[in-house]
């Protein structure tokens, strides 16, 4: 029972880290800023949830393995606190970033003419519009 729970927890952590890798690939390859916010939210939501819940399962597996020093409740509470914190804070930060980028002149105009303008020229244009002072 304990080993099975440990295995499930490890698999959840690996799945979450895979979602983080997917978010990183999207962050690297997606064309403009607003689609990159989508890639960032993958790792923040699904990746963080799977890794932290996997660690909760992994910690609760200790109750079935050792008699005297089982998994501690405070560790599980801290993990759930961390998960709730990430779930509250990360959309807030992404929302503030997207709003600031829109106010700062970053626009999506690859919707108007798909395929006509090259993506590289488009991203260069976006970069110049939203460049820091």
Partner 1 sequence: MLQLAIVGILVSMALNLIRACLGPSVFDRALAANAFATVTVLLIALDGFVNERPEFLDLALVYGLLGFVGTLAVLRFWKYGNLASDERPKA
Contact residues for partner 1 (CB under 8 A)? 6-7, 10-11, 13-14, 16-18, 20-21, 23-25, 27-28, 33, 36-37, 40, 43-44, 47-48, 51-52, 54-55, 58-59, 72, 75, 78-79, 81-82, 85-86, 89-90, 92-94, 96-97, 100-101, 104, 106, 123-124, 126-133
Rank residues 109 and 127 by Cβ distance to partner 1 and give the closer one. 127
| CA–CA gap between residue 129 and residue 119 (Å, rounded) | 15
Least Å distance, CB 116 to partner 1, is 21
Least Å distance, CB 89 to partner 1, is 5
Least Å distance, CB 67 to partner 1, is 18
Tell me the two tokens of residue 65. Answer: 């393995």
């Amino acid at each position: 029972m304990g080993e099975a729970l440990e295995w499930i927890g490890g698999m959840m952590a690996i799945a979450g880290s895979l979602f983080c890798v997917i978010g990183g690939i999207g962050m690297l390859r997606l064309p403009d800023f607003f689609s990159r916010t989508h890639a960032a939210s993958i790792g923040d939501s699904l990746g963080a949830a799977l890794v932290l819940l996997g660690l909760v399962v992994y910690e609760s597996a200790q109750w079935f393995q050792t008699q005297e020093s089982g998994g501690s409740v405070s560790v599980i509470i801290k993990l759930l606190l961390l998960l709730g914190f990430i779930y509250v804070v990360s959309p807030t930060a992404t929302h503030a970033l997207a709003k600031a980028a829109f106010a700062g002149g970053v626009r999506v105009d690859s919707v108007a003419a798909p395929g006509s303008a090259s993506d590289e020229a488009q991203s260069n244009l976006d970069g110049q519009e939203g460049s820091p002072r």
